Amino acid sequence: MTTDHVLEVRNLSVRYGPALALHDVSFDVRAGSVTAVLGTNGAGKTTLARALCGLVRPSAGSILFDGTDLVGRRADQIARAGLMYLPEGRGIFPGLSVGDNLRMATVSHPREQRSENIDRAVEYFPVLAERLGQRAGTLSGGEQQMLSLARALALRPPLVIADEMSLGLAPKMVDMVFEGLAAAAAAGTSILMIEQFVHRSLAMADSALVIRRGGLAWQGPADGAAEAVEEHYVPSGRTSSA
Ligand SMILES: Nc1ncnc2c1ncn2[C@@H]1O[C@H](COP(=O)(O)OP(=O)(O)OP(=O)(O)O)[C@@H](O)[C@H]1O
C-alpha cells in the first residue's frame, strides 16, 4: 500500500448474472486528487461506482480504501468508513428546513464541530445560505441537488464518488455543482467524478479513467486524456477500429 493512495483497485470484475459488466479494472486514486471517470453510455461507470461503495458485490478483485479491503463489506459500513457515493437524485428530507437537513447530516459529529461543518457546506454552496429557513421540499430541483451535495460534503468524507451530479440541471446549477466539488477537493476530499461534461470534468481533474465495454481502456493525467477520449468514445455496437 502506497500511503498517498486513498484508493487502490485491483482486477475488479462485476457480473450481472451471465453478463460481465466490469472486467479486470485496476487503478489508484491519490489522496486529495480529482479523478474523472469517462465512458459512453453503458460502458460500466455506474457499475464501477456501485461496486466501490458496496451496492453490488464484485465477482473478483480487491478495493483497498485507506489500506482496508472493502469487498464483502455492507454499503452502510463503507459509507461510515468515509467512502461516500452521491448517486444521481436527491436524498434530502423535504419536510425539514434546509438548515435542519444540514444539521441532520452532521449529528454524528462531535458537537463543537457541527456548526463549523455546516458553515463549510454552506460556503461551498452560497445559494443555500439565503435559504436556511426554507422547507427543503420547496427548493427548486437544482437547489435540492445542491443541498444533497452540501449534506454529503459537510461530513468531510475522504472520498466522494459523484455520479452524474449535473444531469438535468440548468447551466447555472451545473456551474454550482462543479464549484462545490472543486471547493471540497481543495479542502482535501478526493473525488471520483462520473460526468457527462467530458471537457469540464477533465479541466477540473488531475487524472482520468476511460471505461469502455466494462474494461479500463485508458488511464493517465487529465491533461493528456483528450486524445484518448476521442479514440475510445465509440458508441456501443461499433467496432474498435474507430
Ligand atoms: N442490475 C443490472 N442487471 C443487469 N445488467 C445491468 C445492471 N446494471 C447495469 N447493467 C448493464 O451493465 C452495463 C454497464 O452499465 P452501467 O450503468 O454501469 O453503465 P454506465 O457507464 O454508467 O452508463 P450510463 O452512462 O448510461 O449511465 C450495461 O450494459 C447495463 O445494461
Please, which residues have CB within 8 angstroms of residue 80's CB and are 6 or more apart in sequence?
none
- Per-residue pLDDT at 111: 73
For the residues 36-60, what does the mean pLDDT come to?
94
- pLDDT of 23 > 90? The answer is yes
Q: Considering only CA atoms, which residue is closest to atom 1 of ligand 1?
A: 16
Number of other CB atoms surrounding residue 218 within 10 Å = 18
Q: How far is the CA of 19 from the centre of ligand 1 (A)?
A: 10
C-alpha cell recorded at residue 143: 437547489
pLDDT over 90 percentage in the chain: 49
**Residue 120: its pLDDT value, please?**
81
pLDDT at 196: 82
Average pLDDT over residues 197-220: 94
Predicted TM-score of the model (pTM): 0.87
For residues 187-216, average pLDDT:
93
Evaluate if residue 223 carries a pLDDT over 90.
yes
Q: Which triple of cell numbers denotes residue 213?
A: 465495454
Identify the residues whose C-beta falls under 6 Å from ligand 1. 16, 19, 21, 39, 41-47
Please state the domain extents for the chain. 1-82+160-165+189-242
Instruction: Pick the residue whose CA is nearest to atom 9 on ligand 1.
Output: 47
3-state secondary structure the chain: CCCCEEEEEEEEEEEECCEEEEEEEEEEEECCCEEEEECCCCCCHHHHHHHHCCCCCCCEEEEEECCEECCCCCHHHHHHHCEEEECCCCCCCCCCEHHHHHHHHCCCCCHHHHHHHHHHHHHHCHHHHCCCCCEHHHCCHHHHHHHHHHHHHHCCCCEEEEECCCCCCCHHHHHHHHHHHHHHHHCCCEEEEECCCHHHHHHHCCEEEEEECCEEEEEEEHHHHHHHHHHHCCCCCCCCCC
Average pLDDT over residues 59-75: 94
What is the spatial distance between Cα 202 and Cα 180, in angstroms, rounded to a whole number?
Answer: 16
* Cα torsion 82, 1, 28, 71: sign: negative
| Separation CA 242–CA 229 (nearest Å) | 12
pLDDT bracket for residue 35 (50, 70, 90) = very high
Average pLDDT for the chain? 87
For 1-82+160-165+189-242, CATH number out of 3.40.50.720, 3.40.50.1240, 3.40.120.10, 3.40.50.300 equals: 3.40.50.300
Whole-angstrom distance, CA of residue 7 vs CA of residue 28: 6
Best probe residue, ligand 1, of 14, 25, 40, 46 (max atoms within 8 Å of C-beta): 46
- With contact defined as beta carbons under 8 Å apart, do 188 and 34 qualify? no
Are 220 and 209 spatial neighbours (Cβ–Cβ below 8 Å)?
Answer: no
Report the nearest atom of ligand 1 relative to the CA of 47: 18
Confidence band, pLDDT 50/70/90 cuts, at residue 239? very low
- The tens digit of pLDDT for each residue in 104-161 reads 877 767 777 777 778 888 888 888 999 999 999 999 888 888 898 888 888 888 999 9
